[in-house]
Chains A and B, each alone.
Chain A
Amino acid sequence: MTDAGTGAVTAAGTGSGTGSGTGALLEVEGLAVEFATAQGWARVVDDVSFTIGRGETLGLLGESGCGKSVTSLAVMGLLPPRSSRIAAGSIRLDGRELRGLSESELSDVRGNAVSMIFQEPMTSLDPAFRVGEQISAVLRRHRGASRSAARRRAVELLDLVGIPDAARRVDDYPHTFSGGMRQRVMIAIALACEPDLLIADEPTTALDVTVQKQILELLAGLQERLGMGVLFVTHDMGVISQISDRVVVMYAGQVVEQASTEEVFWHPQHPYTEGLLACLPAEHGRERLRGIPGLVPGPLDLPGGCRFHPRCHHARAGVCDVTPPGLDEVLAGHHTRCLLARDIELRGIS
């Protein structure tokens, strides 16, 4: 794949659009997203900050309703326009501020620099068009490729994502592909313009484990070749531990912990992360699963103090229910939003 190789050079070598201090590919800082409700604007993502470097995979972990998908849609500029708004913060890609860009500017960024894959490929693929046409459309729209060049590239891309007999399959319709093969087609479309950043929102959740393994290996291999940054959004701790360099754990709209993957799973510093790990069946034995009591609060009935304190068995009255914790660096490169982080001992994976 010579083209893919060239893409990797462009992405990793030039470090083109400068301007940012950290040199990170994506910098999200103090992001707040609000949705319109009958009771006014509800803040569903609050003070979310993280960075992704070139060639790095950041895992965004959380249960449903924690704000992880909204965060990724905000980065893509895909939030529903009237019912939602970015209330604060900045999203910089390669030093360029994305917040406040017009729809046409954003659409340019989306095809070229950032692309996204979702959980259900069938709803993102148009059943009425051959897969080759759908890949070509991206190349013609964003790269001004000719019809024949786009088609050639479509075959290359299908080959790159491991679709057997790509030259023939390029003329097939989506429904003739299996679930795993459809997700490969989606990945081919997402990679068509050699994006610097790929956002993958639960891309393997609907797939069988053996197919999931193939897709994860494909993504990891492509990333290595193309030097993309990847934001991998999932609720699956096993998946995230395999694919991510660093992990961000979200709870009730906030980042509660952020560190290297090993640190998060072996030495968690936030009781929510500890609780999530205790929900996983152990490798050996049948220790009773502890779970996490209670429910994730909605954005309009957040508890005072720490948002996790009503469900936290480490919580201390007069402390955790009073003071909202900030996201502090408690160990080198390890951030947690817990007032007791320095006082309590938490259990990771053993």
Chain B
Amino acid sequence: MSEPLQVVAEPASPEPLLVVRDLTKTFVTRRDPLGRPRERLTAVDAVSFELAAGRTLGLVGESGSGKSTTGRLIARLIEPDAGTVVLGGRDVTAAGREELRELRRDVAMVFQDPYSSLDPSWIVADVIAEPLRYHSGLGRRERHRRAAELLDQVGLDRRAAMRYPYEFSGGQRQRLAIARALALNPRLIICDEAVSALDVSTQASIITLLEDLQRELGVSYLFISHDLAVVRHVSHRVAVMRGGAIVETGDADRVWSDPQEDYTRALLDAVPRVARRV
């Protein structure tokens, strides 16, 4: 599977799409009576990695490892304490208001629970074309035309446009969330546990959809998940996080079959595998 992805999507320039350097974020976990910080937790600790265009980097780790915070920092939903995020040659971390607005077109996010990220009172066409309201001069009619295209792309019937999110199953809602993420033709989609809440049969079809979209559009994924088997399947490279830091990075198959770090080995060893028994 990895071959066709490489052939189609490998860009002419050797410059990676995303370069993350020494990204660090601490949260105040306790304050004294005067509100001054008393205890801090380093959620992300000097994290560095690169992601090429059209490729997938899997970010794995257990709860509290800092993988979701890393995703949020890259999308600049939260501000880092130190480090840089460079996307397509532009520094996300230093971007001012206007520049950030442009950068926001390039990065989209898909979360675990599609229902909570889709406004239930809007029809689907408005939900998935919403990013166009803020980032394009398109009127509602044009936005709805784009919504219809997006529905095609994620394998949903165009008639879905006039319905409400609650009328859809979990897997279909995740397709809606992906359609919305695609609305502005982003170069990077951050998938934060995007298939974790789905039943296996639905999970398989969403994974396949993401793979197909990457092949067609050349989009890159930062695929954040606790599920190592899924991460290995979708990713070209994998970074294993623990306690805010990356403990091992490498080619997905290599990390899976020949982990170098004790922690990675323990993590892989704990994965219940059907084929392992007997």
Contacts and interface: CB of A to CB of B under 8 A. Distances in A.
Interface in A222-270: 235-239, 241-242, 261-262, 265
B12 interface: no
B35 interface: no
A350 B229 CA distance: 16
B228 A292 contact: no
Contacts of B62: 208-210
Given A63-B201, A279-B204, A289-B208, A238 B272 contact: yes
Contact of A235 (B170, B199, B276): B199
Contacts of B226: 208-209
A265 B274 contact: yes
Residue of B203, B208, B277 with highest tally of chain A CB at under 10 A: B277
Interface string B193-233: 00000011111110110010000000000000010111011
Nearest to B208: A289
Interface string A336-350: 000000000000011
Contact of B272 (A241, A261, A275, A350): A241
Given A208-B226, A209-B62, A289 B273 contact: no
Contact of B204 (A213, A236, A237, A289): A289
Contact of A237 (B169, B200, B233, B267): B200
A301 interface: no
Contacts of A18: none
B204 A290 contact: yes
Contacts of A187: none
Nearest to A350: B275
A277 interface: yes
Given A208-B226, A276-B200, A279-B204, A213 B2 contact: no
Interface of B is mostly: helix
Given A208-B62, A209-B62, A289-B207, A239 B233 contact: no
A292 B62 CA distance: 29
B2 A286 contact: yes
B7 interface: no
Contact of B205 (A286, A291, A350): A291
B254 to A, nearest CB: 13
A262 B276 CA distance: 11
B270 interface: yes
Given A209-B226, A289-B208, A242 B200 contact: no
A315 interface: no
Given A210-B267, A289-B204, A292-B201, A349 B233 contact: no
B1 interface: yes
A28 B233 CA distance: 39
Given A281-B232, A287-B1, A289-B207, A241 B201 contact: no
Contacts, number: 98
A280 B229 contact: yes
Nearest to B230: A281
A212 interface: yes
A13 B86 CA distance: 68
A276 to B, nearest CB: 6
Nearest to B199: A63
Interface string A171-205: 00000000100000000000000000000000000
A321 to B, nearest CB: 20
Contacts of A239: 272
B266 interface: yes
B34 interface: no
A312 interface: no
B233 A236 contact: no
7 contacts: A238-B274, A239-B272, A241-B274, A275-B201, A284-B257, A291-B205, A349-B275
Which 5 pairs show the lowest CB-CB distances between chains A and B? A238-B272, A291-B204, A286-B1, A281-B233, A292-B201
Given A241-B277, A261-B277, 13 more contacts: A63-B201, A64-B199, A209-B270, A212-B270, A235-B199, A237-B200, A242-B276, A265-B274, A276-B200, A277-B274, A281-B230, A286-B2, A291-B202
Interface of A: 63-64, 179, 208-210, 212-213, 216, 235-239, 241-242, 261-262, 265, 275-293, 295, 349-350
